[in-house]
A = this chain, B = another copy of it.
Amino acid sequence: MNKRISKRTLSRLPIYLSLLQEKEREGVEYISATTIANLLDLNHVQVRKDLSCASSAGRPKVGYETKVLISDLKVFLDYNNTKNAVIVGAGDLGKALLGYNGFTSYGLNIVAAFDTNPELCGTLIKGKHIYDADMIEQMVHELNIDIGIITTPARYAQSTCDKLIAGGVKAIWNFAPTSLTTPKNIIVQNENMATSLAVLSNKLNELSNK
Comparing A63-71, A111-119, A160-168, A196-204, the segment that makes contact with chain B is A196-204
B77 touches A200 (CB 8 A): no
B91 touches A194 (CB 8 A): no
Task: Kindly state whether residue A159 has any CB partner on chain B within 8 Å.
Answer: no
Chain B residues positioned under 8 Å from A179 (CB to CB) = 15, 18-19, 40
Q: Give the bracket for the number of chain A residues in contact with chain B.
A: 35 or more
| A203 and chain B: residue at smallest CB distance | B187
Identical copies of this chain, number: 2
Q: A209–B6 Cα gap in the complex (Å)? A: 18
A residues near B (Cβ < 8 Å) are 1-2, 5, 7, 10-15, 17-19, 40, 77-79, 83, 91-93, 95-96, 99-100, 102-103, 106-108, 146-147, 170-171, 173, 177-179, 185, 187, 189, 191-209
List 4 tightest A-B contacts by C-beta distance, closest first.
Answer: A92-B96, A93-B96, A14-B194, A92-B95
A-B contact pairs, 21 of them (CB 8 A): A7-B199, A11-B195, A12-B195, A13-B198, A15-B194, A18-B178, A40-B179, A77-B198, A83-B201, A92-B93, A93-B96, A95-B96, A103-B197, A106-B201, A147-B200, A170-B207, A171-B203, A173-B196, A187-B203, A189-B199, A191-B196
Given A2-B206, A18-B194, A92-B92, 12 new contacts (CB under 8 A)? A12-B195, A19-B179, A77-B201, A77-B202, A78-B201, A83-B201, A93-B93, A100-B193, A102-B193, A106-B197, A171-B200, A171-B203
